[in-house]
Amino acid sequence: ISADRGIIEKSPEGRWTPGRGGVLGVSRESVGELRRLLVIHEGMHGIIYEVDEFHRGVARYWRTNLTERERRYWQDMFAWMNYSPDDEYLMYNEFQAYLLQQSERGVPWYFRIRMADRVRNFAGRYEPVDVFLRDHPTTFEAAAGAINALLFRTTGMVGGDPFCLVPVEG
């Protein structure tokens, strides 16, 4: 199926090489709303893999628009989820996927309530969650707005709604 769809291609030497596109999968064990969120999150990874301008823009935003303190907070949050916080590529890739897995309207609740509650008691590497949230009252909203604008400019999509795409039959 992957070869038929051009996801992988056979080289003249007979080796399999990357084509275009990818495979997206999530567990059917998840409840409907969680599965929808997971599909969107994983889809955002697909966008960063496939759209070079989006990839470069996300990396640039991570490196230049976020302060060191903001990046450290994201690293702490991802460390709580058992991601490797010292892997910069992983950090900005997850950063964009978590920001864009819901609409911009959902970002404040998701990061300031849900994730903050989960990370609050984590023995993080940097600072307490409440201190960061107090000192950065619009960090998540600003990042979501900028990354969502980048997504729209480079793909025509908006965060939280990749279902505007047309499925491939078969």
Mean pLDDT of the chain: 88
35-91: per-residue pLDDT in tens? Answer: 888 888 988 998 999 899 999 999 999 999 999 999 999 999 999 999 999 999 999
Which ranges of 5-162 would DSSP assign to H, the alpha helix?
32-50, 52-60, 68-80, 88-100, 107-109, 116-119, 129-135, 139-155
Q: Say what the pTM is.
A: 0.83
